[in-house]
Chain A
Amino acid sequence: QQPVQSPQAVILREGEDAVINCSSSKALYSVHWYRQKHGEAPVFLMILLKGGEQKGHDKISASFNEKKQQSSLYLTASQLSYSGTYFCGTEARVSGNTPLVFGKGTRLSVIA
């Protein structure tokens, strides 16, 4: 089942913060976050595993609430380079191999 991302799109000025949410109706084992710029391949940002952890590097961080089956991606003090479409990919891992299912994406535009 495809995770639901919100918002669908957001426009920020440089230096502003944003939160992108990803929620699933299924119990999750992991959540993967990717950023894709127009015409390019998705680029891996981070993975969060079951256990309710929080991760981050530079000014991009994420949290995973397994009880709520939700993950949030936090972008602070946004830069022009943050523009792109952000996808979450969720893995249920009920048994054996379970593939990643990606959301429809959140389009982020950072303007000067």
Chain B
Amino acid sequence: AAGVIQSPRHLIKEKRETATLKCYPIPRHDTVYWYQQGPGQDPQFLISFYEKMQSDKGSIPDRFSAQQFSDYHSELNMSSLELGDSALYFCASSLGPAGEPQETQYFGPGTRLLVL
């Protein structure tokens, strides 16, 4: 079965550079979530989108922005990168709006970002 696709899988940037991470949800899934997992940390929710609109916002820095496109893929744009942004960035997708029944989030393989 098709899974969540993330690109690139690995990315190396220098401080103050910008980065764009892409997420392609499972076909028919209309909701996308972004998580950041620092070294040895649990995943932290950043932001989510449903039907191309931001549906929820977590601990996403102002230097980051994201959007969901008409084909439901999403991009996380990160500017003025800092050393502390080095982490694994997961995207997850699910089907359905907020409310019952809650749908399971399926995670992509992640993009490992290293900021030097």
Please determine whether chains A and B interact with each other in the same assembly: no
**Chain B interface residues (CB < 8 Å from chain A):** none
